[in-house]
Amino acid sequence: MKVVTSLQEMFAERRMLTEPVGFVPTMGYLHEGHLSLVRRAKQECRSVVVSIFVNPTQFGPQEDLARYPRDLERDLRLLAPLEVDLVWTPTVDEMYPPGYQTWVTVEEVTRPLEGAMRPGHFRGVTTIVSKLFNAVQPQRAYFGQKDAQQAAVIRQMTRDLNYPIEIVVCPTVREADGLAMSSRNVYLSPTERQAATVLYRALRAAEQAYQAGERNAERLRAVMRQVLESEPLARVQYVSCADFDTLQELDEVRGKALLSMAVFIGNTRLIDNIVLEP
């Protein structure tokens, strides 16, 4: 496993890789969710590249950039047994040098949900992912379903900008009690960690209502809200029952839909979702 930092080294190493190249972009502090993406990439590609970069431009001014967990040594220890070919750890200075002024913006699909709550977030994500794509030039790139809107935005960007890259979205990896794995889970105190299971319980309750025949989207949203409100440590930012592709809120669920939510547990903002299949 080679570890490189500069763009120049990255380009040099990229030339040596056998195609198809699979790419897993991450912000580090890896967990089983990331590792499942790497394993999938290993199964499907001849070479695998992982990037580790806490991208400052996708954090809002009030967000957790400074305290976002980082532990490169631990990340490399976790990646080594998976036989990753190349790990790229770019620097902020090289990704965003002084005078930097070029941005990638995706429109409609970035507006609702996370886009509405985190202004500028997706502009930061699409800009860095497109810069990473340009350097890594993968044939496939792997993202988690946990960040459902991010996956939809990247799919849209890849189509719109004609990147010859297949976007592979892999299932959310959960703890035994249902909590979706996330690097931000480390912020939770033991009591909050227990309370955080309410997100998955709320999603499952709405999914069960759907399976029992409920198709009214507002009633499905109400089921989620009711479960969330039963948890005193939870502060709901949004609950959504939206079209899977456009992410527009639905009145009636007819095709593939996304149940999703953002909830503060104490000071930690968590997101989660479940897909409803027609």
From the CB of 138, what's the least distance to ligand PAF, in Å? Answer: 13
CA torsion angle 159 163 168 174 (round to 10): -90
Choose between 15 and 67: whose C-beta lies nearer to ligand PAF: 67
25 touches ligand PAF (CB under 6 A): yes
Please state the closest distance from residue 183 (CB atom) to ligand PAF, in A. Answer: 8
For 200, half-sphere exposure in the C-beta direction (CA atoms, 13 angstrom radius) is 16
Q: Are the CB atoms for 59 and 65 separated by under 8 Å? A: yes
Nearer to ligand PAF, 142 or 210 (CB): 142
3-state secondary structure of 224: helix
Give the nearest distance from C-beta 193 to ligand PAF in angstroms. 21
Q: Which CB sits closer to ligand PAF, 75 or 147?
A: 147
Q: How far apart are CA 250 and CA 248, in angstroms?
A: 6
Residues 116-155 binding ligand PAF (CB under 6 A) are 125, 128-129, 147, 150
Choose the stretch contacting ligand PAF; rule: CB under 6 A; options: 25-33, 73-81, 173-181, 246-254: 25-33
Contacts of 276 (CB under 8 A, 6+ apart): 207, 210, 253, 256, 257, 258, 259
Q: Per CB under 6 A, does 24 bind ligand PAF? A: no
Q: Pick the catalytic residue from 13, 21, 30, 34.
A: 34
Q: Residue 72: which of 89, 60, 59 has the closest Cα?
A: 89
* Nearest to ligand PAF of 128, 180 (CB atom): 128
**DSSP calls for 132-167:** HHHHH--SEEEEETTSHHHHHHHHHHHHHTT---EE
Q: 34 catalytic, yes or no?
A: yes
Q: What is the dihedral of CA 40, 44, 45, 49, to 10 degrees?
A: -10
Min dist CB 225 to ligand PAF, Å, is 27
**236, 263 contact by CB (below 8 A):** yes
Residue 33 lies near ligand PAF (rule: CB under 6 A): no
* Binding window for ligand PAF (CB under 6 A); candidates: 23-31, 79-87, 226-234, 243-251: 23-31
CB of 216 to ligand PAF, least distance (A): 32
Pick 95 or 220: Cβ nearer ligand PAF: 95
Query: How many Cα atoms within 13 Å fall on the side-chain side of residue 259?
Result: 29
Q: Which residues carry out catalysis?
A: 34
